[in-house]
Amino acid sequence: MTNNAIFQPFTLGGLQLKNRIVMAPMTRNLSPDNVPNDNNLAYYRRRAEGGTGLIITEGTCVNHIAANGYPDVPYFWGEERLAGWQRIADAVHEAGGSIVPQLWHCGGMRRAGVMPEGDVNGYTPSGMNVPGKVNRHEMTGQDIQDVIRAFAEGARDAKALGFDGVEIHGAHGYLLDQFFWEGTNQRTDGYGGSLEARGRFVTEIIEACRDAVGPEFPILLRFSQWKQQDYAARLVDNPRDLERFLLPLSEAGVDIFHCSQRRFWEPEFDGSDLNLAGWTRRITGKPTITVGSVGLNADFIPVPGEATFREAEPASLDELLRRLADEEFDLVAVGRAMLANSDWASRVAAGQSESLKPFRKEMLATLD
């Protein structure tokens, strides 16, 4: 297959990308004291120098007491942390790339004891990190407003620091997704119940972010059917319910939907070959990002007994390029393959795919 489609420019308002290749957000746990440092800067700069059109940063925690759930992840608040992020944004721009931070709240994936917040428990809609097991803090109405405000502040700061947009992390069983997911959202107020009510929290986050950044600053939303807690979980089972789920989010101000699948080539619903990004584009009319084992021969789910991403070999891009050329989706996020090859985009552009390195789990230990 020709790779011309993936190297076409993409424009959305002020967001101008030189190609359709996106670096997927990947938690690295390599920011001591929660501050993005010189190693983080060099890591992102290398991907921009390697030809990536848009970089979405690893999840970076908003300014809320329970947002963090893991050691050594970067935060997106505080003078020193924001200064570090501004240096990263400047470095990516100097290398010819674009960059957006991913704003993140871990929700019930947090366990009490994770530093620096210590004994603070995870916050969830109904006290559950997994369906049926109440062992987390159930959020009050004030808690909800505090988190909405934290996301809006993060979006405002992203714009002030010179980023090219902002992504809201609403996937993979973290806080926002726990509101979406009926299994963990058993609230009886206006934030629980119907599919639309379970989406209200995120809709209000998007609206608050839009108010904070104005009409032109791009807002991306990442969502998924699957959860870390249950890979078989689904928010919706048919296109009609996907429309009910998506349209309020789209109308609230999402510009680009980042549609997370484990394997991008899998159809989302029976009777159509469209993947999740394809259905989302059809329903909303908004640009979409596809993701899920791009360029590799195995998905990322670890084998039994392991906690790290699965190792994988380079694989053909033909099916991806066919779908992109057919305008099923607009942008393509590359994860593990780009950890293994900082210049993945440049090698593909030069027709050197045979030189791409496989992904090995030891690559997670460094920021090469």
Element (H, E) at 299: none
Q: Encode burial over 85-109: b for 16+ CB neighbours within 10 A, e otherwise.
A: bbbbbebbbebebbbbbbbbbbbbb
Does this model's pTM top 0.85? My answer is: yes
CB neighbours (10 Å) of residue 300? 18
How far, in Å, CA of 355 to CA of 360, rounded?
15
Look at residue 304 in the predicted model and tell me its pLDDT: 52
Give the helix ranges, DSSP H, for the chain. Answer: 38-49, 79-94, 141-160, 175-180, 195-198, 200-213, 239-252, 276-284, 318-325, 336-340, 344-349
Helix (H, G, I), strand (E, B) or coil at 18: coil
Q: What is the CATH number of the domain that holds 103?
A: 3.20.20.70
Annotation marks residue 174 as catalytic: yes
User: Cα separation of 360 and 123, whole Å?
Assistant: 34
Whether the Cβ atoms of residue 303 and residue 290 lie closer than 8 Å to each other: no
> How is residue 195 written in tokens?
């599919």
Alpha helices (runs of H) in 117-263, residue ranges in sequence order: 141-160, 175-180, 195-198, 200-213, 239-252
Q: What is the dihedral of CA 128, 202, 120, 181, to 10 degrees?
A: 10
309's tokens: 């991403």
- With tokens 């206006």, the residue in question is 190
Selection from 359, 71, 32, 70 nearest residue 228 by Cα: 70
Q: How many domains does the chain have?
A: 1
SS3 content of the chain, % helix, strand, coil (to 5): 35, 15, 45
17-20: long-range contacts at Cβ-Cβ below 8 A with a sequence spacing of 24 or more?
17/53, 17/54, 17/98, 17/331, 18/53, 18/96, 19/51, 19/53, 19/345, 19/349, 20/53, 20/324, 20/330, 20/331, 20/332
Which neighbouring-strand residues pair with 259? 223, 290
Determine contact, residues 83/36, Cβ cutoff 8 Å: no
Q: Largest Cα–Cα distance of the chain, in whole Å?
A: 56
Return the bridge partners of 305, or none: none
Residue 14 carries which side chain, given as an amino acid letter? G
Amino acid letter for position 360 = R
Distance CA 167, CA 222 (A): 7
> Residue 174: which of 108, 93, 248, 80 has the closest Cα?
108
Catalytic residue selected from 43, 44, 174, 191: 174
pLDDT at 142: 98
Query: Which residues constitute the domain of residue 227?
Result: 4-365
pLDDT mean by block of 10 residues, the chain; 368 residues: 84 95 97 98 98 98 98 98 98 98 98 96 98 98 98 98 98 98 98 98 98 98 96 96 98 98 96 98 98 89 61 93 97 97 97 94 94
